[in-house]
Chains A and B, each alone.
Chain A
Amino acid sequence: MAPRRQYLFSTVATKVLIAIAGLSLVGFLCVHLAGNLLLYVGAPAFNAYSHVLISNPFIVPLELALLALFVLHVLEAVTMWWTDRAARPIAYQMTRSAGGRSRKSLASTTMIVTGPIVFVFVAVHVATMKYGPWYVADLHGTEARDLHRLVLETLRRPVWLAVYLPCLAAVGLHLWHGVSSAFESLGLHGPRLTPKVLVAGKALAVAIAAGFLSIPIWIFFFGGRS
């Protein structure tokens, strides 16, 4: 049989790259969530924070790096999915989880479903927020983007609530398996470490999903804070 993939394209290296990119994106999500929570503080705080980001000269290289990580994660996952399908051309008539020590879950079996959902959602989200209407706010005399107004206007509409809730839940589901799986892919496994990683990974997934979900729910049902 002809050699398929070597070194950086081997099954092991593929998973390492997916893991590194995935964990970096989780790190980004944590920063993103921390920033979003300023919506609870009010318009001045949120707009001041977004102004610091937008006006920062380092933001463009950081955004490009983030995009590169995102694209790497997606491309590697797609090639992996392709080889995995080829590895079992004939499906079982009946499959069941063995249970026991297996970590198989709804999350682990739907990574290839939640992944594309998150991919499309991120594109739509960036288009509506980052490249959405540019309202202007007065920030202690300086002119800044009124991103707060855009967020409130968007998330007060039922159609956007119906988009954000399931998509953010998909992010949580993806991380439920993804975080601990990334540690395994990097070879970080041990009798003391692994039980902690499994719990922490799920806790982080719940915290991130709950944090992001709380914002559209709060804005839609309680109006948010101006």
Chain B
Amino acid sequence: MNVTVRVWRQGGAFGEGRLVPYEARDVSPDMSFLEMLDVVNESLVASGQPPIAFDSDCREGICGMCSLVVNGVPHGPDRGSTVCQLHMRRFKDGDTITVEPWRAAAFPVRRDLIVDRGAFDQIIAAGGYVSVGTGSAPDANAIPIPKDVAESAMDSAACIGCGACVAACKNASASLFVGAKVSQLALLPQGHPERVARARALVQAMDDLGFGNCSNEGECEAVCPKEISIANIARMRREYLRALVLGTDR
């Protein structure tokens, strides 16, 4: 199959960018979307042009490195999936496909389709961890955790930090990411003691880094490759309100 890809090309962090059309010829429908871009890049390199820069690592939907907005939707048209798991059979011969980087003030474009998601690391560094000494690994079942609580914590912990939630939000809010991190730790006994201070610190970091407000549209949940629910955002808000009311030393 043949498709046209309109790709955002931007020479560097401060360069002007624009959409440039490329023809991808004789693409197999079984190729992944990233493999199709690899094919385009091979022909670009062969003709002496700089290849399209884009992020990827595992290419099996678990690392959260790939980050493309395909036809206006982060990670493309498939639900609960990363763009590295998107296949060309999802498109028709002759289609024109628009590919853009994540757009957020907190995720500056470095080159072409690559953005700097260091802001997420800064949020985690602000308190997205457990700082109390927990000793060596306890015996299995020594800490009883109800099944449903363990399940919800696991659902929140499924976040791979790809940033699609920010990319999809009309306000570039990081609420789903922060909500998932707050929830994952607050639900379990190891993270419970510091939950109030953590919620405050993470929200503060998110705001300072220039992410927007959450409008409760749920576009984040819809594009999340791990289908993390906006219930996590509600939990983040409850934890934050607890921090506001109780202060942060409890």
A contact residues around B103 at 8 Å (CB): 88, 90-92
Interface pair B217/A87, CB less than 8 Å apart: no
Restricting to A150-185, which residues have a CB under 8 Å from any CB of B?
177, 180-181, 184-185
List the B residue with the shortest CB-CB distance to A6.
B204
Given A83-B213, A87-B212, A187 and B238 contact (CB-CB distance below 8 Å)? yes
Interface pair A92/B72, CB less than 8 Å apart: yes
Q: Point out the residue from A11, A12, A91, A187 that lies within 8 Å of B212, measured CB to CB.
A: A11
Interface pair B217/A103, CB less than 8 Å apart: yes
List the B residue with the shortest CB-CB distance to A104.
B217
A84 is an interface residue with CB less than 8 A from chain B = yes
Interface pair B222/A102, CB less than 8 Å apart: yes
A96 is an interface residue with CB less than 8 A from chain B = yes
Interface pair B204/A87, CB less than 8 Å apart: no
Interface locus among A13-21, A30-38, A43-51, A115-123:
A13-21
B169 to chain A, nearest CB (A): 9
CA distance A96 to B227 in the complex (A): 18
Q: Point out the residue from A87, A103, A108, A187 that lies within 8 Å of B105, measured CB to CB.
A: A87
Interface pair A87/B106, CB less than 8 Å apart: yes
Interface locus among B54-62, B82-90, B228-236:
B228-236
CA distance A135 to B230 in the complex (A): 53
Q: Contact size class for A? A: 35 or more
Given A10-B240, A184-B233, A111 and B222 contact (CB-CB distance below 8 Å)? no
Interface locus among B24-32, B155-163, B170-178:
B170-178
A contact residues around B172 at 8 Å (CB): 84, 87-88
CA distance A221 to B78 in the complex (A): 50
Mask: chain B, 208-231; 1 = CB below 8 Å from A; 0 = not:
111111111111011100010011
Per DSSP, chain B at the interface is: mixed
A100 is an interface residue with CB less than 8 A from chain B = yes
B113 is an interface residue with CB less than 8 A from chain A = no
Interface pair B214/A15, CB less than 8 Å apart: yes
Interface pair A184/B208, CB less than 8 Å apart: no
B contact residues around A72 at 8 Å (CB): none
Given A84-B172, A88-B104, A187-B234, A180 and B216 contact (CB-CB distance below 8 Å)? yes
B193 to chain A, nearest CB (A): 21
B149 is an interface residue with CB less than 8 A from chain A = no
Q: Point out the residue from A4, A10, A94, A100 that lies within 8 Å of B222, measured CB to CB.
A: A100
B contact residues around A186 at 8 Å (CB): 237
Given A84-B171, A185-B237, A1 and B216 contact (CB-CB distance below 8 Å)? no
Interface pair A84/B212, CB less than 8 Å apart: yes
A98 to chain B, nearest CB (A): 4
A199 is an interface residue with CB less than 8 A from chain B = no
B152 to chain A, nearest CB (A): 10
Interface pair B217/A102, CB less than 8 Å apart: yes
Interface pair B204/A101, CB less than 8 Å apart: no
B98 is an interface residue with CB less than 8 A from chain A = yes
List the A residue with the shortest CB-CB distance to B122.
A1
Interface pair A94/B233, CB less than 8 Å apart: no
CA distance A196 to B103 in the complex (A): 34
Given A3-B208, A10-B204, A93-B100, A88 and B171 contact (CB-CB distance below 8 Å)? yes
B contact residues around A189 at 8 Å (CB): 230-231, 233-235
A80 is an interface residue with CB less than 8 A from chain B = yes
CA distance A188 to B214 in the complex (A): 15
CA distance A29 to B207 in the complex (A): 33
Q: Point out the residue from A12, A101, A109, A187 that lies within 8 Å of B218, measured CB to CB.
A: A101
Write 15 A-B pairs (CB below 8 A) sorted by A numbering: A1-B209, A10-B203, A13-B244, A16-B237, A88-B105, A93-B98, A94-B69, A98-B219, A99-B222, A101-B218, A104-B217, A181-B215, A184-B214, A184-B230, A189-B235
- Chain A interface (Cβ < 8 Å from any Cβ of B): 1-8, 10-16, 80, 83-84, 86-104, 108-109, 111, 177, 180-181, 184-191, 194
- Chain B interface (Cβ < 8 Å from any Cβ of A): 8, 19, 69, 71-74, 79, 98, 100, 103-106, 168, 170-173, 175, 203-204, 206-219, 221-223, 227, 230-231, 233-238, 240-241, 244
New A-B pairs, 14, CB < 8 Å, besides A98-B222, A99-B79, A185-B214: A3-B208, A11-B206, A13-B244, A16-B241, A84-B213, A88-B170, A92-B100, A94-B69, A98-B219, A99-B222, A111-B215, A181-B215, A184-B233, A186-B237
What are the nearest 5 A-B pairs in CB distance?
Answer: A189-B234, A87-B212, A96-B72, A102-B222, A187-B237
